[in-house]
Amino acid sequence: MLARRLIPCLDVRDGRVVKGVQFRNHVDMGDIIELAQRYRDSGADELVFYDITASSDGRTVSTDWVTRVAKVIDIPFCVAGGIRSLDDARRLLHSGADKVSLNSPAIENPALLGELAAEFGSQCVVVGIDSRHENGDYFVKQFTGDPTKTRGTRWRTVDWAREAQKLGAGEIVLNCMNQDGERKGYDLPQLKLVRAVLTIPLVASGGAGAPEHFRDVFRDAGVDAALAASVFHSGAIPIPKLKQYLAAEGVIVRP
C-alpha cells in the first residue's frame, strides 16, 4: 500500500533557507544543500523548496541551486516560486526538479495549468493554495510571501481547489494560514472539506507542532502527505522518530 508522505518544506530567500511565523519575521535556517542532504538522510519522503519572495517580486526561481539539489538528492523534490510560463516550468524540470508548484500565477492565469499538464503531464503540476478562514468560510489569498503585498482573491478555497484539479493540477498543497507557524495542529475541518472535493493527492500544510498532529491529519483528514517546516528544521520532531510513532499508530509510512 502507498505510504503517507512526510515533506519538509524549505522556504528559500536569497539562496538561503529561512523560516517565519505566520509568513513574517524570517529567520535564517541554513544552507539549501546542507539541509536537503540532512533531510534525505533522515528519511524525508520528498522535499519542497519555496522561493518565498519570487512571486511578489515578479521574478522566477533561479535554476543554479535547483541543479545543485538535483545532483545530491535521490528523493523527489518540488520547486515553487513565481513560475509563470511553460518556459519557466521547463527550465526547472530540465534542471532536475521533479515537480513545479504554482500559487499566485495559477490564479492569474488558470489556463497555464492545462498547458503545463499537456506538456509535462499533470503528475508534475502542483498547485499551492494559501487559504484563510474568514466569516465562516475559507478564502484564497495571494502574494503571501510578503505581508505588505498579500491580498485576497475572488475564490472560495473549495471552489479553487476543484477548479485547479479540473484544469490539470496533479496535486494540491493546502496552506492553512490561520494555523501556519502556530504549532497547534493542522486545520482538520478545512482539510477534510477540500479532501472531499478532490480525487488527486492533497498535501496538508500549516500548523504541525507535535507527532499527534501528523497522526490526526493522516487518520482524520485523509491527506496523502503532510508538509512541515519549523518542527523539522529546529529538530523538535526528528523524522525517524516521527515515522516510528506513526507506524505504531497504524499509519503506513516508509521506514
Catalytic residues: 11, 130
Whichever of 169 and 208 has its CB closer to other proteins, that residue is 169
Q: Which residues ranging from 8 to 37 are in contact with other proteins (CB under 8 A)?
A: none
Question: By C-alpha distance, which of 186, 114, 169, 107 is closest to 140?
Answer: 107
d(CA 16, CA 19): 10
All three cell numbers of 122: 499533470
Considering the complex, what minimum distance in angstroms separates the CB of residue 151 from other proteins? 31
Considering the complex, what minimum distance in angstroms separates the CB of residue 4 from other proteins? 8
- Assess 198 for contact with other proteins (CB under 8 A): yes
Strands 47-51 and 5-13: parallel
Whichever of 23 and 214 has its CB closer to other proteins, that residue is 214
| Residue 180: partners with Cβ closer than 8 Å, 6 or more residues away | 21, 22, 23, 205, 206, 207
Q: Which stretch binds other proteins (CB under 8 A): 13-21, 112-120, 156-164, 235-243?
A: 112-120
Q: How many residues bind other proteins (CB under 8 A)?
A: 40
Q: Which stretch binds other proteins (CB under 8 A): 29-37, 51-59, 185-193, 219-227?
A: 219-227
- Assess 45 for contact with other proteins (CB under 8 A): yes
**Mapping DSSP to helix (H, G, I), strand (E, B) and coil, where does residue 24 land?**
strand
Surface-to-core class of residue 248, CB atoms within 10 Å of its CB (0-12 exposed, 13-18 middle, 19+ buried)? exposed
Tell me the torsion sign for CA atoms 87, 88, 89, 92. Answer: positive
- Assess 183 for contact with other proteins (CB under 8 A): no
Binding residue (CB under 8 A) for other proteins from 102, 202, 226, 228:
202
Instruction: Name beta bridge partners: 134.
Output: 137
Q: Tell me which residues touch other proteins (CB under 8 A).
A: 1-5, 40, 45-46, 67, 70-71, 74-76, 90, 93-96, 98-99, 118-124, 170-171, 198-202, 222, 224-225, 254-255
